[in-house]
A and B are shown apart, each in its own frame.
Chain A
Amino acid sequence: MISLAQPPSLSDFGHDPWWLILGKIVFAFVVALLGTLLGVWFERRVVGFMQVRPGPNQLGPFGLLQTLADGLKMAFKEDILPRSADKVVYFFAPAISVICAVTALSVIPFGPMVSVFGHQTPLQVTDVPVAVLVVLACSSMAVYGIVLAGWASGSTYPLLGGLRSAAQLISYEVALGLSIVAVFMLAGTMSTSEIVAAQGDGTQLSLFGFDIPAPGWYALLLFPSFIVFFISIVGETNRPPFDLPEAESELVAGFMTEYSSLKFALIMLSEYVAMVTMSAFTVTLFLGGWHAPWPITVWSGANSGWWPLLWFFGKVILLVFVFVWLRGTLPRLRYDQFMRLGWKVLIPISLVWIVILAGLRTIDDWDTQSRLYAIGVPAGLVLLAALFWPSRKSAPKPSLAEQVDNRPQGSFPLPPLDLQVPPSPRTRRMVAEREPANAPAGQDSEEV
């Protein structure tokens, strides 16, 4: 058993008494449910703020109880089973989504070692050597819920939504996995608690003889991976602007068109839990997990005890805000643009970045001179190639007047290009015949 000051490692798991394990599981579950309750409220308030309207503000302080009331209302609504639905699959599909979304929270580290009634335990339900893969497995299984919901509804729009969701998952999971590879390469582990620990101690950059403490967060060290990862998880969680499976302007409500009552509530629940889970996952992989951000680290007690819970949830709320912000700002992508972004932009960028990163890792233990050569020669070659790359010269564009003159005989008549209305001849005559009004004044001024 290690002391409280050190971050937990894999060997700290599996020693808890049964009541502590149960307590942690309940804690993670409550985080998921509360995340949904507050998440829906948060999203509606923030989108309301962005659209200059109040949002829900009637029930409870700041409208906090609105989601609870909506949930109760949903429970008492009529549960409709379409006649053409596949009954068993229709019933199980929302449950699959919820179970998978909640399960992923079990490997997310909420905080460091804490003392609970004399037991020292990490604030994390469990950890395995392949914890990141557990989250990936959960997110890939959660799509079964969406796809099966679409298929089992037995109508056209849900089926289209399910098909879109399947294609979306397969495309974006590749980019997601590739962006995590960079984290594995730097952290040297797939366990979430050890990835967080690896981000705790900032690396030392030696520049001109000075040791400069660099940030340990992978969002800064692995910036391209972070961007690709975040775009991919927006795609994985079906959030706008990538919410094509439920695009209301095209597919009514997509895969959940035929759902009502508690089953619909379950689908909503799974969506918001997935958003919270994926935000927590991003915080774990890229934003330093429960470690305090920079200005707070001046205080030495910031990363021990129960305080890290505060930093962790602060970061999660910040990321959820970004999700909502994206929804309030960006229009939905067209389907082919979305697929092109995944296959032709994100995956190539990830692959090239991984190759570069592997090269940098390989030359890490070389001496300074050969390291400079290894970086400088390829960089110089790339620069030279960019400099001497033949630029594509486009043919000079004919002017508008030339284009008009070159039109074939019998073309459609065009209005005058200068858009000047010629003055009416009658107006000119009237002006010419009118006696100047200031004629005597002009003579006066001439005399003076």
Chain B
Amino acid sequence: MNTSTLLAASGAVSGGEAVTFWILAPVALAGAIGMVAARNAVHSALWLVLTMLSLGVFYVLQAGPFIGMVQIIVYTGAIMMLFLFVLMLVGREASDSLIEVLRGQRIAAIGLGLGFAGLLGSGVYRATQGSIPVGLEQANSGGNVEGIARLLFTDYVFAFELTAALLITATIGGMILAHVERRKEDKRDQVATMKARFAPGNYPGPKPGPGVFATSSSVATPARLPDGRLSDRSTPDILPVRELTAEETTLKGTEK
């Protein structure tokens, strides 16, 4: 049995627990407020990380070391990291605009938020006032991790499996919707690419530049291949191939 487990198990709030709570509770609140108030999306995510870390410490304080560490590993380490990943892909200049679409929306939101917090806080306070926490020692009697494991694998095994199946289904569904995989026979490997390159009808060398060995410097004049033929590939598709014939290039007797 750990010291922190022992601290909380007695039911009374010990000195260390109170000090930690009163340091971290404002930090957690500041994180929550900062998350809403921050203009930059990544800053918002970082404020939320602060709140989640504080929550993790609270769990550890209240004799739940396992859930506290899992909170940090899963929520802070993996889920918020995914959030950050997406936000960084979106771009770092993606900040909120300051233009209010609905007039007075911000004032109303603050007022409603404060009212809701007051209602919730007073309700919870009145409900828990004077009640004495019991059963923590029994729950943690065989060790915190062992207790959770026993519950998960006996009473809640079906709910646990269902949740896992739901999450797996969601993941596979997301992958099927987003993932495009070409079939194996549609993929062209190195050998096939090289065979296609040297197949008759394809010129394996680099494309000639326009005007090479040409009789004029026009873009429309096709290049000549080494064997003397004209190359269609050297001119833009929208231009017709135009090589002047011998008749056209002879003097017409108009330039006296």
Binding site for B on A (CB under 8 A): 10-11, 13-14, 86, 89, 128-130, 133-134, 136-137, 140-141, 143-144, 147-148, 150-151, 154, 159, 162-163, 166-167, 169-170, 173, 190, 408-412
Q: How far is the CA of A19 from the CA of B144 in the complex (A)?
A: 30
Is there a chain A Cβ closer than 8 Å to B143's Cβ?
yes
**Shortest Cβ distance from residue A127 to the other chain B in the assembled complex, whole angstroms:** 8
16 contacting pairs across A/B (C-beta < 8 A): A14-B2, A130-B68, A134-B69, A137-B69, A137-B72, A137-B73, A140-B72, A151-B92, A159-B88, A166-B85, A169-B81, A170-B82, A173-B77, A409-B200, A410-B201, A412-B200
Contacts of B158 in A (CB 8 A): none
Contacts of B56 in A (CB 8 A): 137
Residue of A10, A13, A133, A163 touching B89 (CB-CB under 8 A)? A163
Contact A144 B49 (CB under 8 A): yes
Q: Taking A137-B69, A144-B49 as contacts, is the C-beta distance between A14 and B3 under 8 angstroms?
A: yes
1/0 contact trace for B49-77 toward A, CB 8 Å? 10000001000000001101110110011
Interface size on B, residues (CB 8 A): 36
Contact B2 A128 (CB under 8 A): yes
Q: Taking A147-B84, A412-B204 as contacts, is the C-beta distance between A129 and B144 under 8 angstroms?
A: yes
Is there a chain A Cβ closer than 8 Å to B145's Cβ?
yes
Contacts of A150 in B (CB 8 A): 88
Contacts of A130 in B (CB 8 A): 65-66, 68-69, 144-145
Contacts of B49 in A (CB 8 A): 144
Is there a chain A Cβ closer than 8 Å to B116's Cβ?
no
Residue of B1, B42, B72, B200 touching A151 (CB-CB under 8 A)? B42
Is there a chain A Cβ closer than 8 Å to B198's Cβ?
yes
Q: How far is the CA of A134 from the CA of B145 in the complex (A)?
A: 14
Q: How far is the CA of A87 from the CA of B85 in the complex (A)?
A: 20
Q: How far is the CA of A169 from the CA of B4 in the complex (A)?
A: 30
Q: Which residue of A lies closest to B64 (CB)?
A: A130
Contact A137 B77 (CB under 8 A): yes
Q: How far is the CA of A86 from the CA of B4 in the complex (A)?
A: 38
9 smallest CB-CB distances across A and B, nearest first, come from A140-B77, A410-B200, A133-B69, A14-B3, A137-B72, A166-B85, A412-B198, A130-B65, A130-B69
Contact A411 B3 (CB under 8 A): no
Contact A86 B198 (CB under 8 A): no
Q: How far is the CA of A291 from the CA of B136 in the complex (A)?
A: 37
Contact B65 A128 (CB under 8 A): yes
**Shortest Cβ distance from residue B40 to the other chain A in the assembled complex, whole angstroms:** 8
Contacts of B81 in A (CB 8 A): 140, 143-144, 147, 166, 169-170
Contacts of A190 in B (CB 8 A): 145
Q: How far is the CA of A163 from the CA of B86 in the complex (A)?
A: 9
Contact B3 A13 (CB under 8 A): yes
Q: How far is the CA of A408 from the CA of B199 in the complex (A)?
A: 8
Is there a chain A Cβ closer than 8 Å to B29's Cβ?
no
Q: Which residue of B lies closest to A408 (CB)?
A: B200
Contact B85 A163 (CB under 8 A): yes
Contact B76 A140 (CB under 8 A): yes
Contact B92 A86 (CB under 8 A): yes
Contacts of B72 in A (CB 8 A): 137, 140-141
